[in-house]
Copies of this chain bind each other. A is one copy, B any other.
Amino acid sequence: MEVKEMLFMNKGDGENSYVKTSGYTQKVAAVTQPVVYRAAQSLFTGRNSCSYQVLNVADLGCSSGPNTFTVMSTVIESTRDKCTELNWQMPEIQFYLNDLVGNDFNTLFKGLSVIQDKYKNVSCFAMGAPGSFHGRLFPQNSMHLIHSSYGVQWLSKVPKMTSEGGLSPPNKGKIYISKTSPPAVWKAYLSQFQEDFLSFLRCRSPELVPDGRMVLIIHGRKSADPTTRESCYTWEVLADAISYQVSQGLIDEEKLNSFNVPYYIPSQEEVRDLVNKEGSFLTEFVDTIEVELEGIWTGPENGAKNLRSFTEPMISHQFGEEVMDKLYDKVKDILVEDCKQEKQSTRGVSIVLELKKKESHLS
């Protein structure tokens, strides 16, 4: 089974669903909306600006809500404000909501009534666009604005890594880059991220109109070192919880040692290098921001639910559905303990990037 077939957020709107537990990415969305607002307005001020008939806007990795509705609201209001200011007619807006085929589009579509009810006088249309953003999603020259929040740190596949000498497992007892991982593990992760992010940019480039904008919000890190608690905490907790199930005989050790998450937390520098290397975008804005986790989850139980909502489909695929409740109970226990010892992660780091498609791409 490929990554794209097992990678989706928990479905529906039950207590472990992504819809109900996505507090952190909601807070990130709230903090980053000014960038989206400004990017939408800048479409009306460039050399290629005109009184658009239709504005095409995509949200990549939109999941099943509600963050994508926040983005839709921002784009609608930004456009409305700008058109009022310029005394132009408001264009029709067509939103393309993208995620993998396994995403719960039925729940997403039911949620759209929020937008329809809120903006009754705006002509806007919402489409679901199923597919992987590691490949082409839209016709050439069709998009004005592309947004993706907490999407592009997901890799198209688990990095290939081999252990030195080939004796012990290359990333024994861990599921992501860790203090105890040999350098080959980081190298493999970085290499896969470079390949994926370059191909992501190369796919988006023909899809955007000249002067079109792309706003990317990426789970990132501040330190050059990829093994600090800041970036690895989630995966360390999960690895510890899995290790505990191994010690209880509920999970086969071999399954843990052969598993790594298809996820890489880059630094701003790593991201900028790749944008420059690809060459068809200008960086209009870049920043690394920190969002306090305090107040988002009232206690470790909700932290565990959030972690479950975006990791369970992938984790249960590897380790089996029957062990999930026990595994995430252990996650909760670890979070409770870390909380007492004030060892838990208190801030989330995001790289915020606004790119502009160059007029013509002379490579």
Q: A54-B142, A128-B130 are in contact. Are A136 and B112 (CB under 8 A)?
A: no
CB–CB B101/A104 < 8 A: no
Q: Which residues of B contact A136 (CB under 8 A)?
A: 123, 125
Q: Does A138 contact B (CB under 8 A)?
A: yes
CB–CB A92/B140 < 8 A: yes
Q: Which residues of B contact A92 (CB under 8 A)?
A: 139-140
A245 to B142, CA, bound (A): 55
Q: A128-B128, A140-B54 are in contact. Are A105 and B94 (CB under 8 A)?
A: no
CB–CB B94/A139 < 8 A: yes
Q: Does A346 contact B (CB under 8 A)?
A: no
Taking the nearest CB of chain B, how far is it from the CB of A209, in angstroms? 12
A109, A126, A129, A137, most chain B CB atoms within 10 A: A109
Q: Does A263 contact B (CB under 8 A)?
A: no
1/0 per position for A109-152, CB-CB distance to B under 8 A? 11011000000000101111111000011111110000000000
A129 to B130, CA, bound (A): 11
Copies in the complex: 2
A125 to B96, CA, bound (A): 12
Q: Does A248 contact B (CB under 8 A)?
A: no
Question: Residue on B with the closest CB to A94?
Answer: B139
Q: Does A168 contact B (CB under 8 A)?
A: no
Q: Does A106 contact B (CB under 8 A)?
A: yes
Q: Does A360 contact B (CB under 8 A)?
A: no
CB–CB B127/A109 < 8 A: no
Q: Does A53 contact B (CB under 8 A)?
A: yes
Contact sample, A vs B, 18 pairs, CB 8 Å cutoff: A53-B139, A54-B140, A54-B142, A92-B139, A94-B139, A94-B142, A101-B109, A101-B110, A101-B112, A101-B113, A104-B106, A105-B109, A112-B130, A123-B139, A125-B131, A125-B136, A125-B138, A127-B127
